Amino acid sequence: MYKKAVVLVSGGLDSTTVLAMAISQGYDCYTLSFDYGQRHRSELKAASHVSALMEVAQHKVVNLDLGTIGGSALTDLSIDIPEHETAGIPVTYVPARNTVFLSIALGWAEVLGANKIFLGVNAVDYSGYPDCRPEYISSFEAMANLATRAGVEGNRLSIEAPLIDLTKAQIIKEGLALGVDYSYTVSCYQASAEGRACGKCDSCRLRIQGFNEAGIKDPTEYENSA
């Protein structure tokens, strides 16, 4: 009997590592991505490609439009992506995004009979996002088991965030040990249509720093690279 897990995949470095970890633990993985009105589709292409390469059981893209409520540089083109470090919660925070995504993942997990949801949130390099903290994950898990038929009937579901306490360098080393090819991943907040990264946004800076600290060549294609 297969162990089933829903894995949230964005096409980025962290979620791809988490997918590799879930597969290594013997889970039959169902990957879930969201077309939520983000600035570019490069990450969705990467998520689909990575899911195919890793031979997941099924890859699903759910269409949402968080741009209708705005409030984030990722969904509102009138708000610039910051290209320098900022204090506090950055403008790239998408209001309630992880709660929305996890809620849909929870519904699919119930349909599939999966008792695990994996996601790549990280509290060390989390860029100030409130929905990437351990207390948020534990709170959502408690809610999930109160709000679902599966939970009420004793089939408890757990939210797995294995990267929560790791640095970016540690995440990269973990992924490489599991055979992840990071050249297929897209982390940039404002990547080109071809998936080339800006090299300046928060996500790019954390990625560059991670590869540097890990002492590993960064396979990312940057817009301004020679």
Nearest-angstrom CA–CA distance, 124 and 102: 21
Going along 125-181, which residue ranges are E strands? 158-160
Residue 50 placed within a domain: yes
Token readout for 64 is: 């949402």
Residue 144 placed within a domain: yes
Residue 57 placed within a domain: yes
Indicate if the alpha-carbon torsion angle 143, 19, 213, 199 is positive or negative. negative
Q: Model confidence at 47, in pLDDT bands (50, 70, 90)?
A: very high
> Please, is 163 exposed, middle or buried when counting C-beta atoms within 10 Å of its C-beta (0-12, 13-18, 19+)?
buried
Token readout for 80 is: 């610039």
Residue 41 placed within a domain: yes
Residue 220 placed within a domain: no
DSSP classification of residue 66: G
Residue 70 placed within a domain: yes
Domain that holds residue 131: 3-214
**pLDDT (tens digit, 9 = 90+) per residue, 109-159?**
999 999 999 999 998 765 678 999 999 999 999 999 999 999 999 999 999
pLDDT number for residue 127: 62
Distance from the first to the final alpha carbon of the chain: 50
Domain count for the chain, please give it: 1
Residue 225 placed within a domain: no
Q: What is the CATH number of the domain that holds 200?
A: 3.40.50.620
**pLDDT (tens digit, 9 = 90+) per residue, 50-102?**
999 999 999 999 999 999 999 999 999 899 998 887 778 889 999 999 999 99
Model confidence, pTM: 0.94
Residue 181 placed within a domain: yes
Beta bridge partners of 160: 118
- The 3-state secondary structure of 145-177 reads HHHCHHHHCCCCCEEECCCCCCCHHHHHHHHHH
pLDDT number for residue 1: 52
Nearest-angstrom CA–CA distance, 144 and 66: 22
Tokens 């990269």 appear where? Answer: 172
pLDDT number for residue 226: 42
